[in-house]
Amino acid sequence: MDQAIHPRLTVLIHPLVQHKLTIMRRRETSTGEFRSLAREVSLLMAYELTRDLPIERVPIDTPLEPMMAPSIAGKKLCIVSILRAGDGIASGMLDLMPSARVGHMGLYRDPATKRPVEYYLKLPEDVAERLVIVVDPMLATGHSAAAALARLKKAGCHNLRFACLLAVPEGLSVLAAEHPDVPVYACAVDRMLDDHAYIRPGLGDAGDRLFGTK
């Protein structure tokens, strides 16, 4: 079913991911615990997202002898956070990949057109040469994610991935239509969007729960 919605979708079914996500969903989970769990889940997501990075052999000296050892080849990674909630995912990934470059993109929804409008963009100069992981906790309508990916393609990026905690069929359909070349990684695909574009059953507003603003 999920693969029919988006042909390049990977749902991360690892027991630790699913267990931590369940705690994040609970109404009674505190801001501090939610933030900590988001960081832990993001680290586990990063492991899956980077499992196919190219490897080269480089000469090193161990305490006992020289050897040719595996090392990640070429330009490394860039994590692009869709503000503000994306920062809650980016921080966990940086625990695993501390040398990754970080970009930020701010989008808001135009009240008349209901389409995303870019208000902030800051990317590394060599972003087009890197694997770019775009992060946002919730793939709801899909319009912000699609706009972010389109903007990065305009900047020359050709190796893109999108990562979220929760997705719904509506958002996945938008990305499948507009960016079928971009792999999507999610921890769960929930049932639907409600009339206010909230994911059901979901976990509430990820930004508010990460930063304690509601």
Binding annotation: 84, 109, 136-144, 199, 204-206
Of the candidates 2, 10, 31, 109, the residue annotated as catalytic is 109
Q: Is 83 exposed, middle or buried (0-12, 13-18, 19+ CB in 10 A)?
A: middle
Active site residue 22: no
> Between 87-96 and 31-49, two packed helices, what is the crossing angle to 10 degrees?
60
Beta-carbon contacts of 22 under 8 Å, excluding residues fewer than 6 positions away, are none
- Phi-psi category of residue 25: left, alpha or beta, with phi > 0 → left and psi -120 to 50 → alpha: alpha
The Cα 198–Cα 178 span in angstroms is 21
Of the candidates 2, 8, 31, 208, the residue annotated as catalytic is 208
Binding site for 5-phospho-alpha-D-ribose 1-diphosphate, by residue number, is: 84, 109, 136-144, 205
Count of C-beta atoms within a 10 Å radius of residue 29: 18
Residues in the chain: 214
Of the candidates 62, 113, 181, 195, the residue annotated as catalytic is 113
Active site residue 181: no
Active site residue 109: yes
Binding site for uracil, by residue number, is: 199, 204-206
Active site residue 205: yes
Tokens of 94: 């940086």
Active site (catalytic) residues: 109, 113, 205, 208
